Amino acid sequence: MVKCGECRLELPQDASFCPKCGTQVGLKKDVYNVSAGGLVGKVKEIVQDARVKRIIIKDEKGKLLLSIPVTWGTAGAVAMITLAPWLAALGVIAGIFTRCRIEVEKSKET
């Protein structure tokens, strides 16, 4: 039986989303620890991967600071207009915290 990566609820084999917390099933999670100065650059690098679904920024204690959904358009590129407000928020976070943790949810390779 498969378990949800967030709430640990047991899921049916054919589940695409967790019925309790709504998390998409079958995503891979990568974690990066970065200094605040490298935060915006690392997010810009991460968003280039077409498999990325969500970018989660946490402080060094694990508290959620920002959760960014990444939507790819039909042309295969992220619209920078959509990403620009998030980058501004990242700049503010970088000014307040010294280290951040980036969690990246992405589709598993096929």
Query: For position 68, what pLDDT does the model report?
Result: 83
Least Cα distance to 52 among 17, 75, 24, 14 occurs for 24
Segment 43-75, tens digit of pLDDT: 888 888 888 888 889 988 889 988 888 876 544
Domain spanning 28-107: CATH 3.30.1490 = yes
End-to-end CA distance of the chain: 21
Residue 102 and residue 34 in contact, taking contact as beta carbons nearer than 8 Å? yes
Segment 90-110, tens digit of pLDDT: 777 777 778 889 999 888 765
d(CA 4, CA 23): 7
What totals of helices (H) and strands (E) does the chain contain, helices first? Answer: 2, 6
Burial 54-81 (b: 16+ CB within 10 A, else e): bbbbbeeeeeebbebebeeeeeeebeee
d(CA 33, CA 6): 20
